[in-house]
Structure 1
Amino acid sequence: MSFFSYQTLKKLLFKLDPETAHTLAGLGLKAVSYCPPLQKCLTRHYFVTDTSLEQTFFGRSFKNPVGLGAGFDKNGQYITAMPAIGFGFTEIGTVTPKPQDGNAKPRLFRLLDENSIQNAMGFNNKGSHYMLQQLKKLYFFDYPIGINIGKNKVTPESEALSDYETLFKAFKHYGDYIVINISSPNTPGLRDLQNENFIKAIFKMAKSITDQPIFLKIAPDMEAEDAIALCNTAVEAGAAGIIATNTTIDYTLTDSPYKKDFGGISGALLTEKSYQLFRAIGKELYGKTMLISVGGIDSAEEAYRRIKAGASLVQVYSMLVYRGPALIKEINEGLIVLLKKDGYTHISEAIGADWK
């Protein structure tokens, strides 16, 4: 059964500027959320749930382990449409205290031959007040939501903690978990905050404000030893988990004529780099904290590889652009098959299998 050919739609969208295409895709998702019969029909088709995939975290039920990564739904406008394209949870943002336009356009590029994307968006979003209004509308919507937070571009590094404090106070009663984003390459100086002193300070501040689960999202461009040390610091400071990884600024990964010398690369080009760092983190931290893997996940096999390396959940974003919602269904259905093939009756048995 197919409601439309995504590959046909993709041909039309790819004739447009990437950011325009993104906006149109968002409008389509909003339309779905305003049409309950269509949403119900799409959900029935794309949303996969099975007892072997269902998990409970933070007191919330995750019907399947595949979520939407941060960056697509920057303003929390498409939350209710996410089950209709198969996601078991969503992560909204990155949201900053004040609205900001982001970096100058063009700032989003397709690396077509390599099923990848390069973006220099710069946390363009409508700000925390707008996001709060979106979340307040979700009175009866029972679906796991993460909120990804970051500092405003104009906020100097010395005052970054204040921005994050504002955001923790704003969202302390909303969402199921909060993600500290200090790993985007598109806000000047942001990655400089990936240091032990700042990590200790931000978690101390956050824990004084909220008891929500707080995750740290890290970049893929650190040496494994440094990444592990940073993650250990975060866990010791109270992190509920680690999300690995954000986009990469390793431009040696491609010779594409479409690549730029700025912005972060995601998609297939990031797959192996993201996996290798995640695996190193998993070896050290599996069993000590919750791990979520993101970066170039394009199949059930790749998702399963991350799960065996320690991921309780996985996230997809860029590959959705190239494959459409059928990818999410394929990953979840494929995971059911792979679990059975290895003799597992539940995904929890496979999580961290490489280290058991």
Structure 2
Amino acid sequence: MDGSRGNTPWYRSTAVEVLVALGYALVFLSPGAVEPALRAWLVAGALLTVVAPLPLRWRRPRTVFCVVLVGNLVACCLGVVRDPLLAAAFALYPVALGAAPRERRGVLRTGVGPAAALLVLAAATGGVGVAASAVRTAVLGALALAGSWALARAAAGRRAQAERAVAEAARRAVTEERLRLARELHDVVSGTLGVILVHASVGRHLADQEPARALDALGLIETASREAVAEMREMLDILRTDSSPGDADEPLRARLLRVVDTARAVGVETSAEFAGLDVLPPWVDQAVHRIVQEGLTNVIRHAAPTRCRVRVSVRAQRAEVEITDAGPAGAAPLPPGLSFGRGLTGVRERVTALDGTLTAGPLSGGGFRLLAAIPLGAGPADKVVGEGVPRSRMGEEAGR
């Protein structure tokens, strides 16, 4: 079982461990009470078993802990060092830090067994003074080891919590990106196919009687297809680079007017009012474009030919998008809660991701109204969009 020092270079961490070991030897090594004939041998043994292994505690944590624990106990019993198992506690930290739940009892048995045996042996053979010293070493050493274990487990808990937070953030980022791609694909593919479908239907009905108008419909189909291909390429460029949505060179007004012209070409009498577009940040710029695109696509699908009003303005540091249509000519008002597809679900997700609000639904006198408000200071949210929005509410507005 290997320890972990994060991203610290091995040579730097090893140098720190060597300095700590040398400091321990200078402070706690005290062979003055040892017989002179044995002093050199005991000091050498303490250096080899207590001090020397410490720099390797992160590479072989359990092995180093066992060696240092036994050496520390023997050195304490023989009076070579005067610390209450501080070296063993220092070596225990990486063991406790990386111990899995099923390994913790084994670690405790590894430490407690030899310690108890050596202390009992020292107390039984060394007289009253040695017995008292052994008890004192046992009590203080147990406190030191318990403190090291508690600190390591607390650090392990914080690290595990941080890892879970990183994993959750990554999962949420993947989900957000997946939903963003779904919205972009829906806005580009579904909107364009809806316009193409309308023009193809008009061209088919007029091919025999009014071939000139049928050719005009084919020209509009070609234009819509080219625009869809261009938008798909732009989206792929965004995915391949570090650019963000809204980095397009074309001004928002020009993009909105092109969407409005497309609606007019299929029989939707559209009036447009744009104000304050130059102050929109890139992410709001992109959201406004997509909302207008989706709103007019819904009008084309469900209400054309009809009258429609599009208003985009900035009020109180909020961008407002309002799209209102009169409904199909001669059609009855739409019943509340009627659902047609996924269009408004994507719009709501897009608006919610920017901390905005969306209201959409049929009007009492006929027609449909969509109103979105997005704060200008809102950046792309670091949460899964749509979270916290009741599914039933999203489903009720998902139709248009």
TM-score by length of 2: 0.24
Higher strand share goes to which structure? Answer: 1
TM-score by length of 1: 0.26
Q: Which gives a bigger RCO, structure 1 or 2 (Cα 8 Å, sep 6+)? A: 1
Over alpha carbons, which structure has the higher Rg? Answer: 2
